[in-house]
């Protein structure tokens, strides 16, 4: 069984020690996904697995056979940037850019969670069917992605424009 | 990371056969185990992947829930019946880790995660009885701001890191196990051990035994429950102190209560003494204070963590005040 990465089937590594992150970067040369802390604390390595955000540094690649992985390289369609990528540019959602691929993949996964009603630490009414991505909700849900440049205001603005104001 | 073999279990029976071999560990989401292996703290020779097993949440005949050990943390927190019947559990889960990690981490793995004691994690010079039995403990006289105030021993002052488990302790959960000797169940509050002289032995699991499910017995009171976590930053940090509570108040009287603490001990700490003080009494701030004092009466501060004693009391009082509507 293969791992499907951005629409292409890839053989799982024969060495089970290889993380999904190292498979992406070192073997497939998909270097958009970044290695920050390599211990799940910074979120720079966030990718989507069957649409769900995960940190690829703590994922053994062999565990993801049969799954569909989307990295930042897989977000554009026909050469056009994903709307969230456009919004990051528009709102200065980065300075150095190192955390950006993780921020973007995380935000896309996060928007899906909010849409299906997954509660967060700041959700007041647990029985609510839908979540409104307020400023506080959004910041709480994105707390697994650090930005040492401190571009958080731009990141929040970009995500808000893409997933809240656009009514997605 | 040292080399190991990897096999994906086809089913629980298959997992248990492979898992019984010496040097073998089960892997769920891997969010703690992979990190520990990379740091050289865990060094299994073989991994048996059980993350694809037991992924269902089913209602039991009595109105409780049977939660498969492979259920992801996010899936459990968002489940409609958990949110309405056991809100303390949803609240505890979303208070822990990050969105990404909650999407990976399993229920079974959450129960078996290891302490975040910095000396346990440092095998380059720190002594740790949990890592190397008999070696000694550098946390007892070291930087121990995050360490235990209840139930610790001279051998180990580490705390259990889970938020979810604090809710399970309050909810009288039952753990379903399967091993070479067959199936059995264990009350959740008996699963984890206090450190005593052997902090390396953290649970009552037999070698090779697999957690297959966690059962929540029906508990109408749990619909009125919550979780409060106090930590060094607003999100994505381990608890200094946390409180899980469920309360049944009738005409100002506390008919029944469930209370558990996190961040204070080697295991999720069920607050039996506080419950005893509260049960059957008229709800009041004075009563909540007395309950908190009773639970923390035997608390022992280390050099840096004495603040946790007062913090635990205040958090207990605040949570009981919120749930009962009786505030200061």
**Model ipTM?**
0.98
- The yes-or-no verdict on residue B327 having pLDDT over 80 is no
Partner residue opposite B49 with nearest CB, options A38, A63, A127: A63
Are the C-beta atoms of residues A72 and A32 closer than 8 Å to each other? yes
Which residues from B are below 8 Å from A15, CB to CB? 3
- The yes-or-no verdict on residue A168 having pLDDT over 70 is no
Q: Identify the sign of the CA torsion A139, B240, B226, B29.
A: positive
- Looking at the DSSP assignment, which residues form a beta bridge with residue B49? B8, B27
- Looking only at the bridges linking them, the beta strands covering B57-59 and B46-49 are unpaired
Distance CA B243, CA B270 (A): 10
Whether B5 sits inside 8 A of A117 (CB atoms) is no
Query: pLDDT tens for residues B238-280?
Result: 999 999 999 999 999 999 999 999 999 999 999 999 999 999 9
Mean pLDDT of the B320-326 span: 95
What is the end-to-end Cα distance of chain B in Å, rounded? 54
| Residue ranges in A91-151 assigned as alpha helix (H) | 100-115, 135-141
The average confidence (pLDDT) of chain B is 97
The average confidence (pLDDT) of chain A is 96
Domains plus CATH for chain A? 2-74 (3.10.20.30), 83-165 (1.10.150.120)
Distance CA B246, CA B201 (A): 30
Q: What is the pLDDT of residue A130?
A: 86
Percentage, residues of chain A above pLDDT 90 = 93
Query: pLDDT tens for residues B152-188?
Result: 999 999 999 999 999 999 999 999 999 999 999 999 9
- Which of A3, A18, A34, A53 best tests the B interface by mutation, with the highest count of B CBs <10 A? A53
Residue A167: pLDDT band (50, 70, 90) is low
Among chain B residues, the shortest Cα distance to A114 is held by B78
3-state secondary structure (DSSP) of residue B201: coil
- Which of B75, B99, B228 best tests the A interface by mutation, with the highest count of A CBs <10 A? B99
Partner residue opposite A144 with nearest CB, options B35, B87, B98: B98
Q: What is the pLDDT of residue A1?
A: 82
Q: What is the pLDDT of residue A129?
A: 85
Percentage, residues of chain A above pLDDT 70 = 99
- The yes-or-no verdict on residue A166 having pLDDT over 80 is no
Q: What is the pLDDT of residue B42?
A: 97
Q: What is the pLDDT of residue A59?
A: 98
- The yes-or-no verdict on residue B328 having pLDDT over 80 is no
Chain A residues 81-140 with CB within 8 Å of chain B: 106, 109-110, 113, 116-121, 123, 126-127, 139-140
Query: pLDDT tens for residues B119-132?
Result: 999 989 899 999 99
Query: pLDDT tens for residues B71-120?
Result: 999 999 999 999 999 999 999 999 999 999 999 999 999 999 999 999 99
Among chain A residues, the shortest Cα distance to B37 is held by A17
Mean pLDDT of the B51-64 span: 96
Tell me how close the Cα of A91 comes to any Cα of chain B, in angstroms. Answer: 24
Sorted by sequence, the CB contacts under 8 Å of residue B202 that are 6+ apart come out as B112, B114, B130, B192, B193, B266
Residue B31 in tokens: 């969010």
Q: What is the pLDDT of residue A165?
A: 86
Query: pLDDT tens for residues A137-150?
Result: 999 999 999 999 99
Query: pLDDT tens for residues A34-85?
Result: 999 999 999 999 999 999 999 999 999 999 999 999 999 999 999 999 999 9
Tell me how close the Cα of A146 comes to any Cα of chain B, in angstroms. Answer: 11
Mean pLDDT of the B216-241 span: 97
Are the C-beta atoms of residues A107 and B61 closer than 8 Å to each other? no
**Token pair 């630490």 is at which residue?**
A121
Q: How many residues does chain A have?
A: 168
Are the C-beta atoms of residues B311 and B230 closer than 8 Å to each other? yes
Domains plus CATH for chain B? 5-51 (3.30.43.10), 220-324 (3.30.390.50)
Q: Does A1 touch chain B (CB under 8 A)?
A: no
- The yes-or-no verdict on residue B9 having pLDDT over 90 is yes
Q: What is the pLDDT of residue B153?
A: 98
């Amino acid at each position: 069984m293969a791992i499907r990465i951005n629409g292409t089937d890839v053989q799982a590594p024969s060495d089970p020690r290889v993380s999904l992150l190292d498979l992406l970067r070192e073997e497939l040369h998909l270097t958009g996904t970044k290695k920050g802390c390599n211990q799940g604390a910074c979120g720079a390595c966030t990718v989507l697995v069957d649409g769900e955000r995960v940190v690829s540094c703590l994922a053994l690649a062999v565990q993801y056979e049969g799954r569909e992985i989307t990295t930042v390289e897989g977000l554009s369609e026909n050469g056009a940037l994903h709307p969230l990528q456009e919004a990051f540019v528009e709102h200065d959602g980065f300075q150095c850019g190192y955390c950006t691929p993780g921020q973007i993949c995380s935000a896309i996964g996060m928007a899906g969670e909010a849409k299906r009603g997954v509660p967060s630490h700041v959700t007041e009414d647990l029985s609510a069917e839908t979540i409104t991505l307020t400023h506080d909700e959004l910041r709480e849900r994105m707390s697994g992605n650090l930005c040492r440049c401190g571009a958080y205001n731009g990141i929040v603005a970009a995500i808000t424009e893409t997933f809240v104001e656009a009514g997605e | 990371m040292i080399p190991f073999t990897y096999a994906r279990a086809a089913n629980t029976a298959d997992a248990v056969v492979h898992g019984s071999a010496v040097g073998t560990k089960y892997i769920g989401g891997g969010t703690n185990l992979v990190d520990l292996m990379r740091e050289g703290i865990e060094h299994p020779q073989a991994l048996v992947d059980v993350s694809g097993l037991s992924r269902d949440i089913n209602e039991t005949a009595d109105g409780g829930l049977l939660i498969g050990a492979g259920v992801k943390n996010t899936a459990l927190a968002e489940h409609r019946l958990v949110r309405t019947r056991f809100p303390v559990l949803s609240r505890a889960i979303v208070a822990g880790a990050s969105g990404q990690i909650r999407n990976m981490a399993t229920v079974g793995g959450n129960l078996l995660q290891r302490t975040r004691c910095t000396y346990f994690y440092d095998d380059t010079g720190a002594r740790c009885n949990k890592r190397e039995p008999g070696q000694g403990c550098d946390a007892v006289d070291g930087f121990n701001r995050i360490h235990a105030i209840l139930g610790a021993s001279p051998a180990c002052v580490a705390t259990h890191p889970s938020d979810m488990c604090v809710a399970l302790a309050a909810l009288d959960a039952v753990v379903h196990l399967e091993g070479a000797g067959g199936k059995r169940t264990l009350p959740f509050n008996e699963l984890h051990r206090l450190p005593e002289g052997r902090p390396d032995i953290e649970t009552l699991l037999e070698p090779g035994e697999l957690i297959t499910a966690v059962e929540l017995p029906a508990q109408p009171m749990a619909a009125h429950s919550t979780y409060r976590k106090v930590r060094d930053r607003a999100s994505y940090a381990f608890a200094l102190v946390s409180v899980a509570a469920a309360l049944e108040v009738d005409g100002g009287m506390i008919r029944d209560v469930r209370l558990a603490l996190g961040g204070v001990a080697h295991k999720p700490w069920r607050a039996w003494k506080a419950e005893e003080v509260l049960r059957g009494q008229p709800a009041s701030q004075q009563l909540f204070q007395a309950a908190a004092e009773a639970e923390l009466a035997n608390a022992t501060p280390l050099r840096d963590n004495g603040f946790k004693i007062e913090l635990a009391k205040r958090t207990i009082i605040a949570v009981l005040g919120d749930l009962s509507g009786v505030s200061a």
